[in-house]
Structure 1
Amino acid sequence: MGCAPSIHVSQSGVIYCRDSDESNSPHQTTTISQGTAATLHGLFIKTDAAETIPSVITYQSRHSRNNSCRDRKENSGGHVRIEAETQTSHTSVKVSSTEECVGPMRLTQEPIQVLLVFAKEDSQSDAFWWACDRAGFRCNIARTPESAVECFLDKHHEIIVIDGRHSRYFEPEAVCRMIRATKPSENTVILAVLPQKFVENSSVSACYNELIQIEHGEVRCQFKLRACNSVFTALEHCQEAVEITSEDHIIQVGHIHVQQCHSLRHRDRRKDSMDARSLSSRGSDAPSLQNRRYSSVARIHSMTIEAPITKVINIINAAQESSPVTVAEALDRVLEILRTTELYSPQLASKEDDPHTNDLVGGLMSVRGSQYLKMLHHSQLAIPVTLNDVPPSIAEMLNDEECWEFNILELEAATHKRPLTYLGLKIFTSFGVCDFLNCSEAMLRSWLQLIEASYHSSNSYHNSTHAADVLHATAYFLRKERVKSSLDQLDEVAALIAATVHDVDHPGRTNSFLCNAGSELAILYNDTAVLESHHAALAFQLTVRDGKSNIFKNIDRNQFRTLRQAIIDMVLATEMTRHFEHVSKFVNSINKPMASINSDCEGQANIRNSPENRLLIKRMLIKCADVANPCRPLELCIEWAGRISEEYFAQTDEEKRQGLPVVMPVFDRNTCSVPKSQISFIDYFITDMFDAWDAFASLPGLMEHLSENYKYWKNLDEMKCKSLRPPPPS
C-alpha cells in the first residue's frame, strides 16, 4: 500500500490530489503518498469541458519542499492521460485547524474550503488556486455546472468563485441558481469574476488579499455566530447537568470551554453576504502587502444592478493597484469614510466644546427617539372663515411683496394672524397659478383659507406667518434670473404650493420630541421624517377632501402626478437630517461644474436644466426659504430668533414635566444664551448653504444682511448678554 498513489477518481471525474510548490500550474500537479518511486499509467478521465482537463480538481494543502513531481497531460481524443512519478519519498503535511475565540469559548475551525468554477484553465484561475495555497485553504476547481454542484454538495464550500467573464461554456447566473437551490448554500459566499466589474488580475497577491478579506470578514463572523447558536442548541437539548469550568477544570459561572465541536464546520451562514472588509495581508510576503486593498470580486447577484457608491469604491480599489504605498494608505482612509452611512453629517467636537451647536444640531437633525411614553393627540382643525375682499390698507401693504425687505410681521398684525391667505392670493396670481391649474380664484382662496386654518396659531414660530414668510422668500428666489431660466412653470407652481403647505399642522415640537413621546405621527411614519411626511400627506388630504377647495381637480392626471411628486420632494427636503447631503450635491453637481465653464453660457444652461439638477435647485430653493430668517433685516431677524427660542423653551419645559429626554438642554429659558444659539445656527447651517445659493442666484442684499446680523449676535455674546437685545444703558 505504501507504493500506491494518493489519488481517488469519482464517477464524475473528480480528482483529489496534493500539489507541489515546484510546479508551475495547479492543474499539472499530482503528489504521491509516502513511499518509493511509483508510476501511474493509463488513467483516462472523461470530461465535458472545452479544454481536455478533469471536470474537478481538488487541492488539499501545502506540503514539504523535499519532493518534486511532474505530470504530463496528453491530448488523446477528448481524454486526459495523467502520468506521475515521484523522485523521493515524503509525507504530506495536512493544513492545521485554527482556534477561534468567542468570548471565553475557544472553538476549532477547520480550514476554509473554496470552489473555483472555471470552464478553462487560465492565469486568473491559477491565481486563485495559488492564493488558496498561500492562505492555507482547501480548494477545488470545477469545469462544468453539474460537477460544481456535486462537488459543493460533498464539501460544503465556504467560498465559491464563478467565472462570469464569458458564457461560451456555461451561464454564470445559471450556475449560481443551481448552487443556491441546494440547502447547504443558503449562507455560502458566492462571488463572480466579471469583465467590467472585476478587472482581471492574475496576481496571486491580489487574489490572496481578496480571499483573506472574505475569511476575516463574513466567514469568520458567521462561524462565531453558528458556534454560539450550536452551543445554545446543545444546552437546550442537554438532559444532563452542565458544568461550566475554567481551563484548570475549576467550576465557575460565566465561562464556557468547548473541548470539541465537530459539527461546527460553519456550513450554514446567512444567505446575504456582507461586504468583506480589507485587512492586512498575511503570509510570506505580508509586509509588502500590508495596508493595501485590491480590486473586489463582484458578487454574482450584482451582475446587472450596481449602486453608484459601489462603482466609486471599485474605481478606488483599482487605482490602488498601481499607486505608491502612501497613496494606497490615503485611499484606504477614503474607503473607510465611504463605507459609513452618514456621509454628509459632519462630526462635531465634544459636547463640552460647543454645547449650543451640539444641542441645536442634535435637536434638529436627530430623528430617533429613545423611548415611547405618551401618545399625543392633535387638536381638530379650525373651520375656515369666509374671506372678504382685501381691505385697501392690506392691499397697499402687499404692493411691496416683491422686495426682500417686505415686513411679514406687519402683515400678520394687519390680517389678524391670517397673512398666508392674503399674501398667497397676491403671489399665486402674479405667477399665474390659477391659469396653470385651471381653477377659479374663489377655489384658490378657499384652499388658502383651508391650509392657513390648519396651522397652529398658538405656536410662537411654526404658524401661518412662518409659512407666509417662506412663501415670500420662495417667490423672491423664483424671480431671480438664473433660477427662473432653470425651472419651468410646473416647477414654479410646485415650489409655491410646497412653501405654502410645508409646515401645515406643525405641533410646535421637533421630530425628536415626537419620537421620544411615542406620538401617533412618529409611530405612523416609523420615526423617519415624521413631521415632513405628515405635512406633505395632510396637505393633499385636505386639498382633495372638498371639491370647493380642490385646486388639482381640473388638471390632467399625469400632470397631477408630476406636480404632486415635486411638491412632496420639496417638503421632505426641509427635513434637516439630510441638510448637508442636499447642500453638498448642489455644490458639486451645479456650482462647481458651472464655475469650470464660466464663459460657456450654453454649457451652463445645460447643467442647470438637466432633470436631476432642476430637482437639486428646487430642494435648495425651499431649504433656503425655510431658514432665511438670519438673512432678513435685523429687526425681523431678532423677532424670528425670539420666536424660535420661545418654541424650543416650551418644548424643554414640557419634556421636563413629562419626564421625557431633554433633546436640547441648552434651550432652558433660565440659562439659555440666545446670541450663542444664533451664532451656532448660522455657523453650522446657514453660512455655507447661502454662500452656495448666492453663488447660483446672486443675492448680495441677503448676504449683506447675514453679515450684519452675525456681527450683532457676536457683539451681544462678547458682552456676555444672553437676551435678544443689549441691556438698556444704566
Structure 2
Amino acid sequence: MINVCLCFPFRSIRAVTSSENTVIVAVVKRPDREEASVMPLIKSGFNRRYVENPNMMACYNELLQLERGEVLAQFKLRACNAIFTALEQSQEAIEITNEDQVIQYVNPAYESIMGYQQGELIGKEITEVPKSEKNKPDLLETMNSCIQKGKEWQGIYYAKKKNGDSVQQNVKITPVIGQGGKIRHYVSIHRPLHDQNKAPRLPRLQLVFLSRQFPEKIFLSTHSSMARIHSMTIMIAPITKVINIINAAQESSPMPVAEALDRVLEILRTTELYSPQLGTKEEDPHTNDLVGGLMTDGLRRLSGNEYIFAVKQPHLPSHLAMPLSLNDIPPHVAQTMENEDSWDFDIFNLETACLKRPLTYLGLKIFSRFGVCEFLSCPEATLRSWLQGIEANYHSTNSYHNSSHAADVMHATAYFLCKERVKQSLEQIDEVAALIAATVHDVDHPGRTNSFLCNAGSELAILYNDTAVLESHHAALAFQITTRDDKCNIFKNMERNEYRTLRQAIIDMVLATEMTKHFEHVNKFVNSINKPLAALEENGGIGDEESVKGILTSPDNRILVKRMLIKCADISNPCRPLELCIEWAGRISEEYFAQTDEEKRQSLPVVMPVFDRNTCSIPKSQISFIDYFITDMFDAWDAFADLPNLMQHLDNNFKYWKDLDERKLHSLRPPPE
C-alpha cells in the first residue's frame, strides 16, 4: 500500500491498523533555495520524500519504483513474523548465521537439544562454538566445496553439545541463489529419523528468506531420541545401515514413495528376513504338518507324564572290528563300493553287505580319496577308530536316522565336492570340514524331531534351551567322542589355529542342517552368490574371471556354499534314483509314524497329525516335502553346481508320487497287477 500524504492528517493514517506495512510518501514543494534535510520527515514517520513534479510520467515512474522496491520489500518482511513463529514452534533444531558465520538465531529446540541458551550463542562466530572431532577434514572440505558451487549437500555431520557429547546429525544444505546469480542464503532442512512408532508424516518446513535484510546461512539439523543410537557406529550392523539409507531417502521422496518405504522398513525390521511366514498352504494339511514339525521347536504343552531323553555318555566299541585298514575291506564289500563316485551309488547294497556298518567302510574309501588323513596328519588306524566310534553312536534301531543315512549324506557331500564350481570356491580345509560334518551330522539321533524333544521336556531340550536341540547335540557329541581318546582323535596332530578354523566350519555346517533356518540359508545363497554370478554372465558372456573368483572365494560366500552343500546332501533323497527315493521315503515315514505313536502314548502334543500310520498318504507327504523344501533349493544348487542328472531324478520322482496321489493311493508303491 502506498499513501501519498498531501493534506490528510499524518497521525490519522498511522492510526489505521493496515498502515503497519504501508509506505507513506511526503509530497513536498521544490525548494527555492538549497536542499533541505529529510530527517524531520523520517522522524515524523514518513518513508519517502517526493518533490512535486507536474510531469505525469515522472510521477508514474516514481510510483512504479516504490511498488517494486519498498512496497514489495514490506510484503516480504511481513511474512518474517510467521516464519520465525514456525521456527520457534519447530521440534527440529535450527541455527541461523549470517554470511560472516556469525550466529543470528537459534530456536528453542536447538537450545533444548544442544544444551545452550540463545544468549550464549547469538553474536558468536561458528568457529567459537566447540565442534566434534569426529568430523573428518575431507568431509568439511567436501561440504564447503559443494555448497560454494551452488550445489545441495546432504550427509552425516557431528555437532558437539555443551556438555561435550557428540551428536550425529543428518544435514542437508541447499544454497539459495539471489539477484545477480550469487548465493545469498544456505537453507538446511532435515527431519528426524522415524522409528516404527513414529508420528504421522508432517509436511516439510520450507524456509525462504528473500530479503537482503537476512543474508544468512541456515542449518536445520536433525535431533531425535535416536541420535545417540545412530552415533554408535563401531558395531553397526549391515541391516541398520540399510535402514538408515532408506530413512534418509524418505526425506526427499514424494509421499507415495515415502509411504512405500515405510512398508519396506516394517519388513526389514523383522528378525526373520529370509524366512517366509508359515501357513501359506493352509489348504494342504500335509504341508502344514510337515513344515510345522520340521521348522518349529515344539509347542511346550507338557503333560504330567513327560518323556525324558537323557544326555547319554558316548558309546565306544570295546574292540575294533574289521576292517583294519582300507586294504583289508572284504571283497564283497569292496565290490559294492566300486561306483561310489557315481550319484546313482546304491547305499542299501553296501548296508546289507557290511551288516549295517556302511559309515566306516564308505568313510575309509571317501576320506582316502580326498586325502583327509594327509591333511590331518593322522594315521589311517586313527581314522578307522574314529569312524567306528562315530558309527557306534548312531542308533541302528532308527528306521531313517541311522549310520546308513550318515553314509548317504557323506556320499552326496563327496559327490558335490567334485563339481567344478564347488572346487573353485572351496579349499582343502573346507572339503575336510564338509566330509567330517556329513559323517557326524546326526550322531546319536533319537529318531524324534526337535519339536518332540521340546514338548517332552527332554534333558537335551533343557540343555540347549529348546533351540537347535539335536543339531547342537550332534556337533558337541562328535567332538566329545573325537577328543576323549587319543586312539580316535583325528585332530591330535593339527596346529592349534588350523584346528580352530576346522572345528568352527564343522560346527557351522552341522547347525546348518537345522530346518528352522532352511529358507534363510537358501535365500542368502541365492542373493549373495547365484544372482551376482548370473549378472556377470549376462553382462559379459561368461563373466569376468576375476569377478567370478571374487564372488566364489570370499570368506562369507565360502560359508554359504558349505551350508548349502550339506543341506542339499542331507535331504537329497528326492533327487536319488527312484528305487532309492522310495526306500528313503518309507524309512522317514516309519520314523514319523513311530513318533506319532509315542506322542499318543505319552499324551504329548502330536506334532504332525497327518503322519498317523493308519491314515497317512505317503505320496502326499512326499509331494508336500518336494514342493515346499526341495524344488527351490535344488534349483538354486543346480544353477551353481550344474546337476542335470539330479534334476532329472527329481522330476521323475515327483511325477511318480503325483501319479500315486491322483490314483488316491496312500502307499509307497502301486498294488501289483
What TM-score results when the alignment is normalised by the length of structure 1? 0.65
Structure 1 residues 118 and 412, CA, compared in 2 at 3 Å: closer, same or farther? farther
- Taking the aligned partners of 2:282 and 2:104, their CA distance within structure 1 comes to 57
* Residue 355 of structure 1, CA deviation: 1.4
SS state at 2:493 partner? coil
Pair 1:310-2:240 in alignment: yes
Give 1:353 deviation, angstroms.
Answer: 1.0
State which of 321, 332, 338 in structure 2 corresponds to 1:387.
321
Determine the C-alpha separation between the residues in 2 that align with 1:700 and 1:66.
74
Larger radius of gyration: 2
What one-letter code is carried by the residue in structure 2 that aligns with 1:318? A
Quick check: 1:364–1:577 contact (8 Å CA) kept in 2? Answer: yes
Task: Confirm or deny: 8 A CA contact 1:474 1:625 kept in the other structure.
Answer: yes
Moved more, 515-524 or 341-350: 341-350
Which amino acid is the alignment partner of residue 248 of structure 2?
A: A
1:528 maps to a residue whose letter is T
Give 2:36's aligned residue: none
Q: 1:530 aligns with which of 469, 478, 500?
A: 469
Q: Is the 8 Å Cα contact of residues 297 and 467 (structure 2) preserved in structure 1?
A: yes
Matches within 5 A, 1:62-461: 129=107, 139=112, 142-143=115-116, 166=135, 192-194=167-169, 198-200=170-172, 206-207=190-191, 210=193, 213=194, 275-281=195-201, 298-300=227-229, 302-349=232-279, 352-373=282-303, 374=306, 375-377=308-310, 381-384=314-317, 385-388=319-322, 389-461=328-400
Quick one: structure 1 residues 451 and 69, their matched pair in 2 at CA, closer, same or farther if it must change by over 3 Å? closer
Partners in 2 of 1:556 and 1:705 — Cα distance?
43
1:546 CA displacement? 0.4
Match of 1:471 in 2: 410
**What does 1:47-58 align with in structure 2 at a 5 Å threshold?**
none
How many angstroms does 1:387 deviate by? 2.4
CA distance in 2, matches of 1:68, 1:174: 30
Q: Structure 1's 469 and 328: CA in aligned 2 closer, same or farther, altered over 3 A?
A: same
Closer, same or farther: CA 120–193 of 1 in aligned 2, 3 Å: farther
Partner Cα distance (2:338, 2:275) in 1 = 42
Deviation of 1:141 after TM superposition, in Å, equals 5.0
Specify whether residues 673 and 304 from structure 1 end up closer, same or farther in structure 2 by C-alpha distance, changes over 3 A only: same
Once the 2 structures are TM-superposed, how far is the Cα of residue 551 of structure 1 from its aligned partner?
Answer: 0.5
1:117, 1:142 within 8 Å by CA — same for their partners in 2? no
Q: Report the Cα offset of residue 177 of structure 1.
A: 8.8
- Decide whether the 8 Å contact of 1:114 with 1:139 is kept in 2: no
Q: How far 1:315 moved relative to its partner? A: 1.6
Aligned residues: 524
User: 1:201/1:452 Cα in 2 relative to 1: closer, same or farther (>3 Å)?
Assistant: farther
Give the match for residue 662 of structure 2. Answer: 718
Moved more, 493-502 or 516-525: 516-525
Structure-2 residue corresponding to 1:502: 441
Secondary structure at the aligned position of 1:299 is classed as: helix
Q: Which has the higher helix share?
A: 2
| Secondary structure at 2:550 match in 1 | helix
TM-score between the two structures when normalised by the length of structure 2: 0.70
Which of 646, 649, 652 is residue 705 of structure 1 equivalent to?
649
Report the counterpart of residue 479 of structure 2 in structure 1: 540
Aligned amino acid, residue 299 of structure 1: R
CA gap of 1:350–1:418, structure 2 versus 1, over 3 A, is same
Task: Return 5+ residue gaps in structure 2 as ranges.
Answer: 1-77, 122-130, 138-156, 175-186, 207-221, 323-327
SS at match of 1:192: strand
CA distance in 2, matches of 1:177, 1:523: 49
CA contact (8 A) 2:95 2:105 kept: no
The equivalent residue for 1:258 is none
Could you tell me how far apart the structure 2 residues matched to 1:661 and 1:176 are?
Answer: 61
Aligned-residue identity in percent = 64
Q: Deviations over 1:613-648 (max 9, x none)?
A: 111111111010000000000010011011111111
Kindly provide the CA deviation profile for residues 206-265 of structure 1, in whole angstroms up to 9, marking residues without a partner as x: 53x65xx5xxxxxxxxxxxxxxxxxxxxxxxxxxxxxxxxxxxxxxxxxxxxxxxxxxxx
Question: What one-letter code is carried by the residue in structure 2 that aligns with 1:192?
Answer: V
The 1:329–1:557 alpha-carbon spacing in structure 2 relative to 1, beyond 3 Å, is same
The answer for unaligned runs of 5 or more in structure 1 is 1-64, 72-91, 96-111, 149-161, 180-190, 214-274, 287-293
Residues 517-596 of structure 1 correspond to what in structure 2 (within 5 A)? 517-596=456-535
What is the CA–CA distance in structure 2 between the aligned matches of 1:514 and 1:407, rounded to whole Å? 32
Change (3 A) 1:321 1:639: same
Query: Which residue in the other structure is 2:75 paired with?
Result: none
Displacement of 1:303 after TM fit? 3.4
Per-residue CA deviation, residues 150-206 of structure 1 (Å, 9 max, x unaligned), is xxxxxxxxxxxx9897499xx979969988xxxxxxxxxxx9334xxx344788985
Task: Tell me if structure 2 keeps the 8 A contact 1:165–1:193.
Answer: no
Separation of aligned partners in 1, 2:81 and 2:312: 87
Q: Is the 8 A contact 1:631 1:703 kept in 2?
A: yes
Instruction: Tell me by how many angstroms 1:727 deviates.
Output: 2.4
Amino acid at match of 1:453: A
Tell me how far 1:302 sits from its aligned partner: 1.6
CA distance in 2, matches of 1:694, 1:611: 21
